[in-house]
Amino acid sequence: MDPTPPRNNAVTVADVARMAGVSKATAARVLGGYGTVSDRVREAVTLAARNLNYRPNELARSMTTGRSGTIGVVVGDIENPFFSLAVRGITDIARQAGFTVILTNSGENTETEKAAIRALLAKRVDGLIVSPAMESDVDHLEEAIRSGCPMVLLDRGSRTLGVDTVVADDGHAAEDITRRLIAGGHRRIAYLTACDTPDHRFRLPSDISTGSVRRRIEGFLRACHEAGLSGMEDWVRLGALTPAETQRIVTAMLTDKHAPTAIIASDSVIGLDVFKICRDRGIDIPRDLSLVSFHDADWTSVTTPPVTVVRQPVYQLGEKAAKLLVERLNGNGGPASRVVLKTELVERASVADIPAEQMSEARQEKV
């Protein structure tokens, strides 16, 4: 027994082959688990590998096979519970299918996203799962696809890119909750999102480059229009990128003569910020203000009052995206599919109807 452990792990198939007294090719066959080898040789090679503490070099393997066993994921912000959960769904499926995941943050910035895609492509990932920061700027994605890298879009789609897409039913979700608010007598309903436009003002849904948010705003406006409410575009507020920005926007709205009676938060991070601001300003939810948030984050059920939310199947969103990608990677062709996962309105206690007398008052103001 030679107890001297190999210092540098520069053990290669050649070393193992030499020790086992076979050719490099044969050793590689048993080590790589391909081809056919006699049991005797297999044993000898396995033993030698163990003795030498052989570690396969995936890089070299990838070089020849062309597959890296890696999936690249680009999300807006891992810190956002929405993405953490989706990423969890992705990695669970990926690992199950024998892939590892390289995770990158775009910070919802297209330039960073481009750099990330480039780096991922350079690392020769087998496939890509992306939440595009901007639907309007997807040249880098298109190029990645053209170069032969399968891609699945997560949470945000693209009409021009013909790729597999997994999104939630955001439009209908927004429509439902808006209808619900209107039925409760609300007329001044604000929709608050982190998305932004150059001049920070909202005019048309097409100005919104984040697909999921655009679909929600469209749903919001659809419900408003259906109820005969006009000019609701003014209630779509953009740029809630940071707690400070959110505070500025919400405070401005709340101190205005025409303060909203309800706020729809586009994600749970903003929802939490709004909740904090209300608490700090002594605004009673839902008496003074109704609040609805997208994403059923863990904390929403535990506040006073608990928050009414749109529950998206976030983990499943990630799972489904990974499954679609793995299928493609396994050679299953076919046309690009668009999967739309159902959402669910979870009514808790942060929404209240507007009393009748205030309703007429509200109507007067509208006129």
Partner DNA sequence: TTGAAAGCGATACCAC
Partner DNA sequence: GTGGTATCGCTTTCAA
Residues that bind DNA (CB under 7 A): 10, 12-14, 22-26, 28-29, 31-32, 34-38, 40-41, 54-57, 60-61, 63-65
Q: CA angle 191-192-193, nearest 5°? A: 125
Distance of alpha carbon 293 from alpha carbon 264, whole angstroms = 6
Q: Which is nearer to DNA, 16 or 249 (CB)?
A: 16
Binds 28, which of a second copy, DNA, none (CB < 5 to 8 A, cut-off by type)?
Answer: DNA
Applying CB under 8 A, does 326 fall inside the site for a second copy? no
145 is an interface residue for a second copy by CB under 8 A: no
State the Cα–Cα distance between residues 334 and 326, nearest whole angstrom. 13
26 interface partner picked from DNA, a second copy, none, CB below 5 to 8 A per type = DNA
Q: Residue 16: name the closest of 36, 33, 31 by CA.
A: 31
Report residue 355 as tokens.
Answer: 């009393």
Residue 324 interacts with a second copy (CB under 8 A): yes or no: no
Q: Is 23 exposed, middle or buried (0-12, 13-18, 19+ CB in 10 A)?
A: middle
Site string for a second copy, 117-136 (x = CB under 8 A): -xxxxxxx------------
Query: Pick from a second copy, DNA, none: which does 41 bind, CB < 5 to 8 A by kind?
Result: DNA
Residue 103: contacted member of a second copy, DNA, none (CB under 5 to 8 Å, by partner type): a second copy
For residues 203 and 279, which CB has a smaller minimum distance to a second copy in the complex? Answer: 279
Q: Where are the alpha helices (DSSP H) in the chain?
A: 13-20, 24-32, 39-52, 58-65, 81-96, 110-122, 139-146, 170-183, 211-226, 243-255, 268-281, 314-329, 356-366
Tell me: does residue 63 bind a second copy (CB under 8 A): yes
The angle formed by the CA atoms of residues 122, 315 and 127, to the nearest 5 degrees, is 20
Query: Which of DNA, a second copy, none binds 203 (CB below 5-8 Å, type-dependent)?
Result: none
- As measured in angstroms, the least distance from the Cβ of 57 to DNA is 3
Q: Please tell me the total number of residues recorded for the chain in this structure.
A: 367
Residue whose C-alpha is closest to residue 47's, from 82, 5, 25, 19: 19
Give the residue, chosen from 225, 258, 279, 342, that forms a contact with a second copy under the rule CB under 8 A.
279
24 binds a second copy (CB under 8 A): no
Contact between 231 and a second copy by CB under 8 A: the answer reads: no
CA distance 352 to 262: 9
Please give the single-letter amino acid code of residue 120. Answer: L
Are 209 and 195 in contact by the 8 Å Cβ rule? The answer is: yes
9 binds a second copy (CB under 8 A): yes
Pick between residue 104 and residue 261 the one whose CB is nearest to a second copy: 104
Contacts with a second copy, residue ranges (CB under 8 A): 2-9, 53, 55-60, 62-63, 65-68, 70, 78-79, 81, 84-85, 87-88, 91-92, 95, 100-105, 118-124, 143, 146-150, 269, 272, 275-276, 279, 297-299, 301-304, 329-331
